Amino acid sequence: MRLVSISFLLTFLMVCNPQSWGQRSCATDSVHAQMMGLAGYAEVFQNKVNLVNQAAESGAMDCATPLIIPVAVHFQNTGIPEACAIDMALDQIEILNQDFAAINPDISQWYAQQPSIWPDISNAESCIQFCLATSDHPAGFGLAEGDYAVTIDQTTGDFNSSWSGYLNFWVRDIGPLGYSPLGGNGNGDGVTCHPQAFSSISCGGNSLYGAYNLGRTITHEVGHYLLLNHPWGNGGCSSTDNVADTPVTSEPIFGCPSGQSIVNCTEPVLWPSYMDYCNDACLFMFSAGQVTRMENYVTSSLQNLLNNSVTACQDPCDTACGCTDPDACNYDAAAANDDGSCDYSCQGCTDSTACNYDPDATDDDGSCVFPTEGFPCDCNLDLDFNLTNAGTGVGDAEIVAATATSNVTSFSIELTYSDVSGGSWAGDLLLGICDPNGTCIEIGGYNMSYGYTDAGGWPAGWNSEAAGTYTATINVSSYGLTGAGDWSFEWINGWSSTTASATWVGSMTIEDLCPGVVGEDVEGCTDSTACNYNAAATLDDASCAYASGCDYCSGEVDGTGTIVDGDADDDSVCDENEIEGCQDPEACNYDDSATDPATCEYAAEGFDCDGNPSGGCPEDINGNGTVEVADVLLLLAEFGCTSNCSAADIDGDGAVSVSDILMLLAAFGEEC
């Protein structure tokens, strides 16, 4: 194994000469290529990859039990004195732990830039922690129990089997900034770093490179050690880094492109990832997929490191121990010696109105990101278009009321393309966009134009007849598209000589463009169950009025609605349930279900409601109990009466006539 390390070193000296450090360099790809050429290594490496892929099904870990990795740092021919070396080593470990736990001071840059540039990508906190070993050191290096695992000029090269069970940092003067095996073994191997890119401390005569002075070279190389590739893989837009949530990119990004959306394939490059080549100041995150891949690699292939941490990472603190960092959640003001127990898990955004609000955070770390006033956090406009069997100039169009939060920065498009007879390209699609202010741009097409400002074409891969799905993310931030009102979108077949056979069907998502026109806040009742609800209100003024009991709402939703009295007579019976009727039980038309009074009808005197005489024997005119001659004489005395007749009007028809005589004679002699 020592011979292999020397061959690597010779290779680096040949291909990576010292430079002015205008750009980052990493020799991990060269290391990996060399090792893949060794007998049996490719099979071993593939087995490790397979284990990670299998473990990936378990997803993110619970960090209640962290994955602790013991670290040893070996300075080789640097001239850096021991005290400075220990300070640099401790500082580098602190940087690693902050970067992996996503509590690095500059993580706020990610929260500020992510919503507009990478809205679908999340960073993540890793459960991996690193300790500078203090116990159970290998013999022969002059380290006593409790000493930090830092050696000065006691090792050479990039491998030492005595330090198996540790993640070793070899700090020495090399051509590139650093390198690492792609997927370390913990068998005495480790990552190698130039002393002028190690930690964030310049001391002992060692001055850090200006662009690489934040310790991110080690973060980058440890990522390789835990099986992370460079984002561009083998290079080109068909490459992969085997992490699903990192956009495909064809090449590294250098310098410090803060705030920029850089697209060199189809999506904005994730340049803040520690695995890219930017300056230290513009590397500040791992994606959630990268974190999961590293954790899975540790648990599947580096159990020897985890096992060794039980003894190697013993707390060297004896008295007045505790967390001495005032920024930590468990800061102990009484502690004089830091015992490595500092916990930062309580930090996060504590403002519930922020887009990145963390309900579990109790200590605000200043990372809160707020939406533009009047807009939601996620403010994108989605559109569909359909050009089927489209000939020259045939297309689709849509006008949408929308409001830009600022200038529209970019849009993503996914297109399903086909052409029956051939000749057209996917890239013949011509898109026009006009904002409410009259600013118009066009993208794509072949030899046709809307006459708008030319904003470029589709990716080169769209210049194809092949049927399939085509995707792109287009940066339009420099064209000043903005405003509130009607936005127009047009899609046509932009080749003047095409036949009516090509089809473009797809969808677009325009960043920073909110559906609807956002204006000033309107005060009013915002509760739709209230009678005075105002559908246009955006700010509740506590004026909501509600109906109860029999009352109900008048129905308007513009704030003018009122409460309508539903019990006009206050009898506790709702108007809609009231029943009008005669409420006198003595009346002929009495209604026992009536709740409201109505006219009552009564029988004529001496008769019942059906018109029958109410007496038991009407023929007994004198009322002596017998129908007799005396009754006949009384009837005859009244015979011919036509009004106000006496009891002689036996049949009750208002007159004394023959019919009364006949009724009396029929009952003559009866007792009543």
Q: Give how far Cα 327 sits from Cα of 305, 342, 354, 472, Å.
A: 29, 9, 22, 43
Which residue from 346, 286, 313 is spatially nearest to 126, judged by alpha carbons? 286
Output b/e per residue, 429-457; b: 16+ Cβ within 10 A.
bbbbbbbbeebbbbbbbbebebebeebeb
DSSP 287: B
User: For 130-135, what is the mean pLDDT?
Assistant: 93
Q: Where are the domains of the chain?
A: 2-316, 380-515, 567-602, 629-667
Residue 142: partners with Cβ closer than 8 Å, 6 or more residues away: 154
* Architecture of the structural domain at 2-316: 3-Layer(aba) Sandwich (3.40)
If DSSP states are collapsed to H, E and C, what string results for 402-453?
EEECCCCCEEEEEEEEEECCCCCCHHHEEEEEECCCCCEEEEECCCCCCCCE
**Mean pLDDT (whole number) for 213-227:** 96
Return the SS3 of 28: helix
pLDDT tens for 305-350 read: 999 887 778 665 667 788 888 888 888 998 887 776 788 778 888 8
> Among all chains, which residue has been given the structure tokens 């732990």?
97
Region 53-63 average pLDDT: 63
Hey, how many other C-beta atoms are within 10 angstroms of the C-beta on 204?
Answer: 18
Q: Does residue 17 have a pLDDT over 50?
A: no
Only one residue has tokens 């003559």, namely 668
- CA dihedral (59, 51, 170, 207) in degrees, to 10, reads -30
CA angle 194, 198, 201 (to 5 degrees): 135
Cα distances (angstroms) measured from residue 399 to each of 92, 134, 394, 402, 485: 55, 67, 17, 9, 10
pLDDT value, residue 372: 67
pLDDT over 80 (residue 500): no
| pLDDT of 10 over the 50 cut | no
Which active-site residues does the annotation give? 221
pLDDT of residue 645: 86
Could you give the CA distance from residue 279 to residue 209 in angstroms, rounded to a whole number? 10
Q: Judge whether 69 and 169 are in contact, CB under 8 Å.
A: no
Tens of pLDDT, residues 629-665: 888 888 888 888 988 888 888 887 889 888 888 888 8
Average pLDDT over residues 228-237: 91
pLDDT of residue 634: 85
Cβ neighbours of 621 (radius 10 Å): 24
Amino acid at 650: I
Longest Cα–Cα distance of the chain, Å, equals 159
pLDDT tens-place string over residues 583-608: 899 888 999 988 888 999 988 776 67
Are domains 2-316 and 380-515 of this chain identical in fold?
Answer: no
User: What pLDDT, on the 0 to 100 scale, is given for residue 374?
Assistant: 66
Task: Return d(Cα 426, Cα 491) in angstroms, integer.
Answer: 12
CA distance 510 to 406: 12
**657, 648 Cβ separation under 8 angstroms:** no
At residue 225, what are phi and psi to the nearest 5 degrees?
-60, -30
Residues 532-541 have pLDDT tens digits of 998 777 778 9
Neighbour-count burial of 378, counting CB atoms closer than 10 A to its CB (0-12 exposed, 13-18 middle, 19+ buried): exposed
* Predicted confidence (pLDDT) per residue in 403-452, tens digit: 887 789 899 999 999 988 878 899 999 999 999 999 999 999 999 999 99
- DSSP letter assigned to residue 160: -
Taking the CA atoms of residue 390, residue 392, residue 398 and residue 402 in that order, the dihedral angle to the nearest 10 degrees is 130
CB 238 within 8 A of CB 460: no
Contacts of 280 (CB under 8 A, 6+ apart): 211, 212, 213, 214, 215, 216, 217
User: Which comes out higher in pLDDT, residue 389 or 611?
Assistant: 389
Token pair, residue 195, equals 């002393």
CA 130-74-30 angle, to 5 degrees, is: 85
CATH class of 380-515: mainly beta
Contact 286, 273 (CB under 8 A): yes
Phi, psi (rounded to 5 degrees) for 585 = -60, -20
Specify the pTM: 0.50
Q: What is the structure's pLDDT at 519?
A: 59
Nearest to 222 by CA among 125, 96, 102: 96
What is the Cα–Cα distance from 474 to 479, expressed in whole angstroms? 12
DSSP code of 123? B
Report residue 550: phi and psi, to 5°. Answer: -80, -15
Beta strands in 280-367 (DSSP E): 321-322, 337-338, 347-348, 363-364
